[in-house]
Amino acid sequence: MNNFQRRRQYLLKSPIQRRFLFHSTIMILLPTAFVGSLLFFLIFYLLSDQIMIPEHVVATLGPVITKLKYILILGGIPLVAVLLGWAIIISHRLAGPIYRLEQDLEKIAEGNHSVRVKFRKNDRLDPLAEKINRVLEKLPKT
Partner 1 sequence: MRNIKKAGQVVFLTMALILIGVSFVLCVRPAFSSSQPKKAFDFNDDNALEEWNEHILKNKVKYYIKKDQGETFVQAESKDAASGLYYKLRFKAKTYPYVSWKWKINQFPKKRKNVEDYAARVYVIFPHIVFFKSKCIEYLWDDELPKDTRKPSSMHKNIRQWVVRDGKTPAGKWILEERNIYKDYKQLFGTYPDKQVGAIAFMSDTDDDKGIAVASYDEIRVGYKK
**Interactions with partner 1, residue window 55-84 (CB under 8 A):** 55-61
The distance of closest approach from Cβ of residue 38 to partner 1 in the complex, given in angstroms and rounded to an integer, is: 11
Using alpha carbons, list the distances in angstroms from residue 42 to 47, 65, 142.
Answer: 8, 13, 69
The answer to whether 113 contacts partner 1 (rule: CB under 8 A) is: no
Q: Nearer to partner 1 by C-beta: 55 or 110? A: 55
> Can you give the C-alpha Rg of the chain in angstroms?
25
CB atoms under 10 Å from CB of 80, counted, come to 15
Cα separation, 3 vs 25, in Å, equals 29
Cα separation, 85 vs 79, in Å, equals 10
Among residues 4, 22, 45, 86, which is the contact residue for partner 1, using CB under 8 A? 45
Among residues 9, 13, 52, 138, which is the contact residue for partner 1, using CB under 8 A? 52
Q: Nearer to partner 1 by C-beta: 27 or 58? A: 58
Give the footprint of partner 1 on this chain (CB under 8 A). Answer: 41, 44-45, 47-61
